[in-house]
Structure 1
Amino acid sequence: MKITGVKSHVLQYDLPGELGYSQQYYEKRTAHLVEVQTDEGITGWGECFGPGNVAVANKGIVEKVIQPIIRGSDPMDRDVLWHRVYNLMRDHGQKGMPLQALSGVDIALWDIAGKVAGLPLHKLIGGAHRDRIQAYGYGMMLKRESVDDHVARFRDEAAGIMDMGFAAAKMKTGLGPESDIRLCQAVAEGVEGRGKFMVDANHCYTTSDAFYVGRALEELGAYWFEEPVAPEDLDGYRELRSGLRVNISGGEAEFNRWGWRQILENRGLDIAQPEVCALGGVSEYLRVLALCHAHFTPVINHVWGSAIAVATNIQLLAAMPALPGGLHPWEPMLEFDTTDNRFRDELLQEPLDIQGQVKSSGGYVSIPPGPGHGATPDMDFIRRFELDL
């Protein structure tokens, strides 16, 4: 079997309303899918992390840089291809967009391997440690409105996420420390003891401001405080973890095993959040997972994107060993974006229907049964939303 082509599909549509987090507001939903074709008619699908113009730029890396390196190769040699591509791109970036582009290609190669073997991804990895995964919903995005309006909306949205059946709710912050604490209080009230709530700052605080907000989160009973400071500030993470009772989480902006080695050796995380569509794909995710477990750091994957990303992460979470193990072990959760996302809900020939599963099962989702990651896109849908680049 030989790789005959690698296509990059950047999809986009206008959201029904503007959404925001601590770094920016956005009005469009973007997804970047990768299609790897073979001479035996087996096609693999992957996804690259990165919105908007980042996806457009990554398309060039996928098609103009990575495709010539792997075309004509056996797609089953995915580890060989990963290292060949990484080594040739190393002089031009060991992190960031080159790794995002490689991630989508690698996920597609694992999808091909599953289809060749007739096995789901979790079987290729070594089997399922669980047959269903608890899901949490995130929403409570920032908008161009007053703090009082944010407070009222966040309280209602948190309650709404719990009403949907999710096990926990995650919110955004970024209005400023004092205002953000008001938002956290509103979400704690909206959850009303029905589950956990988590806070995602998207690295908007200085260390001192993160301590200020974090102490309030201790009193409110937040489960984790995500990306409180810049991802480069390893000392800040370590100081926050040693000085706060709330769990410190992060890692979505880190890439490959070497970057993750620094984070883990620094002991700055209670919960690691690797992003498989960014850090180097399934191949590198498995190496990062092994590093996390070697440092006794629990993992809850960061999930953002289309149904390809969601299905891939469900497979990975199913195959994740319990840490540290026991009769009633600590279990990972699936992150689910509750905001409008047609690329998640309408992309596939057979939709995942995460919301329906959560509502009917008490907060759990099942593992897609098909080979590979189990997600087959509808090509008519792709053609409808693909940008003409």
Structure 2
Amino acid sequence: MKIIKVTSHILQYDMPEQLGYSQQYYAKRSAHLVEVETDDGITGWGECFGPGNIAIANKSIVENVIQPMILGDDPIDRDVIWHKVYNLMRDHGQKGMPMQSLSGVDIALWDIAGKVAKLPLYKLIGGAHRKDISVYGYGMMLRPEPIEQLISRFADEAVAIKDMGFSATKMKIGMGPKDDIRLAETVRYSVGDDFRFMADANHCYTTSDAFYVGRALDELGAYWFEEPIAPEDLDGYRELRQGLKVNISGGEAEFNRWGWRGLLEARGLDIAQPEVCALGGISEYLRVLALCHAHFTPVVNHVWGSAIAVATNMHLLMAMPDLPGGLHPWEPMLEFDTTDNKFRDELLTTPLDIQSQVKQNGGRVVAPVGDGLGVEPDRDFIRHYKIH
């Protein structure tokens, strides 16, 4: 079997409302799918992290840099391919967009391997450590509106997410320390003391401001404080972890095993959040997961993108060992964005139907059981929304 073609599909549409996080507001939803074709007629699908113009730039890396390196290779030799591509791109970027691009290709190769073996991805990795996955509902995005209006909106959204049946919820912060505390107080009071909530800052604070907000999150009983400061500030993460009660989480902006080695050795994370569509794909994710567990750091995958990304993470969470083990082990959760996302809800010929599963199964879902990722994109849908 040989690889004969690698294609990037950049999808985009105008969202019904403008949303944002601490760094920017956006009005378009985009996704970057990767399709790897073989001479046996088996096709694999992957996804690259990175929206908008980042996705367009990554398309060039996938098709014009990586594709020529791997045409004619056996797709089953995915680890050989991974290291060949990484070594040839190493002088030009061990992080960022080259790794995002490699991630999408690698995920597609794992999809092919599962289809050849006639096994779902979690079986190919080594089997399921759980029969289903807990899901948290991610919402309460920032909007360009007065803080009083945003507070009212967050209260309504927090209650709605809880009522949808999710096991926990996560909010965005980034309006400034004092306003962010008001938003967090609103969410806590709206969902009640017995419902888990998390806050995501997308690295907008100085360390001193992160301590100020973090102490308030301590008092509110938040479960984790996500990316409080810049991902490069490893000393700051360690200081926050030592000085706050709330769990410090992060890692979505870190890449490959070498980057993660430094992050974990800094001892700044209570919870690691690797992004499989960015850090190097499934091949590298499994090495990063092993590093995290070797440092006794539990993992909750960062999930953002289309149904391809969601399905990939469902398999990875099924295949993740308990850390630590026991009769009632700590368990990871699937991150689910509750805002409008056609590329998650309408891309597949058979939808994942996460929200219905959550409602019916007490906040839990099961991974697709078909071969590979177990999902099939609708090509008519792709043609309709493809911009590049």
Cα distance in 2, alignment partners of residues 47 and 115 from structure 1: 17
Instruction: Give the superposition deviation at 1:278.
Output: 0.1
Correspondence for 1:196: 196
Cα displacement string for residues 222-257 of structure 1 (whole angstroms, at most 9, x for unaligned residues):
000000000000000000000000000000000000
Residues 200-279 of structure 1 aligned to structure 2 (within 5 Å): 200-279=200-279
Q: Contact 1:205/1:229 (CA < 8 Å) preserved in 2? A: yes
Cα displacement string for residues 333-355 of structure 1 (whole angstroms, at most 9, x for unaligned residues):
00000000000000001000000
Cα distance in 2, alignment partners of residues 283 and 10 from structure 1: 23
Cα distance in 1, alignment partners of residues 349 and 147 from structure 2: 41
Cα displacement string for residues 70-121 of structure 1 (whole angstroms, at most 9, x for unaligned residues):
0000000000000000000000000000000000000000000000000000
Which amino acid in structure 1 is aligned with residue 378 of structure 2? D
Structure 1 unaligned regions, length at least 5: none
Residues 1-389 of structure 1 aligned to structure 2 (within 5 Å): 1-387=1-387, 389=388
Cα displacement string for residues 55-76 of structure 1 (whole angstroms, at most 9, x for unaligned residues):
0000000000000000000000
Instruction: Give the superposition deviation at 1:193.
Output: 3.1
Q: Contact 1:271/1:299 (CA < 8 Å) preserved in 2? A: yes
Instruction: Give the superposition deviation at 1:190.
Output: 1.6
Q: Contact 1:48/1:103 (CA < 8 Å) preserved in 2? A: yes
Cα distance in 1, alignment partners of residues 61 and 369 from structure 2: 32
Which amino acid in structure 2 is aligned with residue 113 of structure 1? A
Which amino acid in structure 2 is aligned with residue 152 of structure 1? S
Cα distance in 2, alignment partners of residues 182 and 33 from structure 1: 38
Which amino acid in structure 1 is aligned with residue 77 of structure 2? D
Which amino acid in structure 2 is aligned with residue 364 of structure 1? R
Cα distance in 2, alignment partners of residues 341 and 361 from structure 1: 22
Cα distance in 1, alignment partners of residues 194 and 261 from structure 2: 36
Q: Contact 1:155/1:190 (CA < 8 Å) preserved in 2? A: yes
Instruction: Give the superposition deviation at 1:131.
Output: 1.2
Cα distance in 2, alignment partners of residues 177 and 145 from structure 1: 17
Which amino acid in structure 1 is aligned with residue 190 of structure 2? G
Runs of 4+ in 1 over 3 A off after TM superposition: none
Give the 3-state SS of the residue equivalent to 2:198 in structure 1. Answer: strand
Cα distance in 1, alignment partners of residues 291 and 379 from structure 2: 38
Cα distance in 1, alignment partners of residues 41 and 370 from structure 2: 17
Cα displacement string for residues 300-345 of structure 1 (whole angstroms, at most 9, x for unaligned residues):
0000000000000000000000001011000000000000000000
Identity of aligned residues (%): 76
Cα distance in 1, alignment partners of residues 374 and 219 from structure 2: 42
Q: Contact 1:169/1:191 (CA < 8 Å) preserved in 2? A: no
Instruction: Give the superposition deviation at 1:192.
Output: 1.4
Which amino acid in structure 2 is aligned with residue 180 of structure 1? D
Cα distance in 1, alignment partners of residues 194 and 214 from structure 2: 22
Give the 3-state SS of the residue equivalent to 1:85 in structure 2. Answer: helix
Cα displacement string for residues 106-144 of structure 1 (whole angstroms, at most 9, x for unaligned residues):
000000000000000011110000010000011101111
Instruction: Give the superposition deviation at 1:191.
Output: 1.2
Cα distance in 2, alignment partners of residues 139 and 191 from structure 1: 13
Give the 3-state SS of the residue equivalent to 2:40 in structure 1. Answer: coil
Cα distance in 2, alignment partners of residues 299 and 105 from structure 1: 23
Which amino acid in structure 1 is aligned with residue 88 of structure 2? L
Instruction: Give the superposition deviation at 1:194.
Output: 4.6
Q: Normalising by structure 1, report the TM-score.
A: 0.99
The count of corresponding residues between Structure 1 and Structure 2 is: 388
Which amino acid in structure 1 is aligned with residue 17 of structure 2? G
Structure 2 unaligned regions, length at least 5: none
Cα displacement string for residues 273-318 of structure 1 (whole angstroms, at most 9, x for unaligned residues):
0000000000000000000000000000000000000000000000
Give the 3-state SS of the residue equivalent to 1:76 in structure 2. Answer: coil
Cα displacement string for residues 150-190 of structure 1 (whole angstroms, at most 9, x for unaligned residues):
11111110110000000001000011000000000001012
Cα distance in 2, alignment partners of residues 327 and 35 from structure 1: 41
Cα distance in 2, alignment partners of residues 230 and 375 from structure 1: 35
Give the 3-state SS of the residue equivalent to 2:154 in structure 1. Answer: helix
Cα distance in 2, alignment partners of residues 375 and 174 from structure 1: 36
Q: Contact 1:168/1:197 (CA < 8 Å) preserved in 2? A: yes
Give the 3-state SS of the residue equivalent to 1:136 in structure 2. Answer: strand
Cα distance in 2, alignment partners of residues 369 and 354 from structure 1: 14
Which amino acid in structure 2 is aligned with residue 221 of structure 1? G
Instruction: Give the superposition deviation at 1:149.
Output: 0.7
Cα displacement string for residues 204-230 of structure 1 (whole angstroms, at most 9, x for unaligned residues):
000000000000000000000000000
